[in-house]
Chains A and B, each alone.
Chain A
Amino acid sequence: DAGVIQSPRHEVTEMGQEVTLRCKPISGHDYLFWYRQTMMRGLELLIYFNNNVPIDDSGMPEDRFSAKMPNASFSTLKIQPSEPRDSAVYFCASNQGYEQFFGPGTRLTVL
């Protein structure tokens, strides 16, 4: 298995632009998680899905953030409009059971 796949790996954009991050979970995993990691705040859970249904989005910072999971093999995290404080590494993870498998992350820089 290729593991959790994320794209792009790096994204540099200007403030105000829309950013879309993509994730393909491991086949057969029924939970999918989006995390954000910064030096100051560590690894924060933004939202997670079970069988493509959003379960808890209480970690989503504000209305500028949205996430979708149209099918079992694909999810997106969108930021519109982006701001410099959104600069971070965004991880997607999936699991079946208790162990979470993380993707390589997307390093987002908003100028």
Chain B
Amino acid sequence: GQNIDQPTEMTATEGAIVQINCTYQTSGFNGLFWYQQHAGEAPTFLSYNVLDGLEEKGRFSSFLSRSKGYSYLLLKELQMKDSASYLCAVREWGGYQKVTFGTGTKLQVIP
């Protein structure tokens, strides 16, 4: 089984940088995902990490440390449209595509 923890809510200011943390416990790690979900909409894929280190994609970056069971999503130059929930999800070994999602972090960007 898996246990995924992330903060419930965060608030940040437009133009600033925010880091959303995720810790996980799993018996066989095989990848970590970040998804963005605006209120009333479906989740959309942001990033995928399977090896340690930082993956950068525009204003968004995702970091992974497998030994610590830790990841973060870094959002730079925050915009009002970044107000959304951010879901951390972990995949386990097993040869299949099963992914377990955390309960998400609701980010509010204020002017």
- By a beta-carbon cutoff of 8 Å, the part of chain A in contact with chain B is 31, 33, 35, 41-45, 48, 50, 55-56, 91, 95, 98-105
Per the CB 8 Å criterion, the residue count for chain B at the interface is 19
Q: Is the interface of A mostly helix, strand, loop or mixed?
A: strand
Given contacts A98-B31, A98-B48, A99-B48, contact A43 B98 (CB under 8 A): no
What residues on A are CB-neighbors of B99 within 8 Å?
A: 45, 100
Other 8 A-B pairs with CB < 8 A, given A100-B43, A101-B45: A41-B103, A42-B101, A42-B103, A45-B99, A48-B96, A48-B97, A91-B42, A98-B33
Task: Please measure, in the bound complex, the distance between the C-alpha atom of A35 and the C-alpha atom of B101, giving whole angstroms.
Answer: 10
What residues on B are CB-neighbors of A43 within 8 Å?
A: 43, 87, 101, 104
Q: Mark B84-100, 1 if CB is under 8 A from A, else 0.
A: 00010001000011111
- The residue from A35, A42, A56 contacting B96, defined by CB atoms under 8 A apart: A56
Interchain residue pairs with CB less than 8 A apart (17): A31-B97, A35-B101, A43-B43, A44-B101, A45-B98, A45-B100, A45-B101, A50-B96, A50-B97, A56-B96, A91-B42, A91-B43, A95-B97, A98-B48, A99-B45, A100-B43, A102-B43
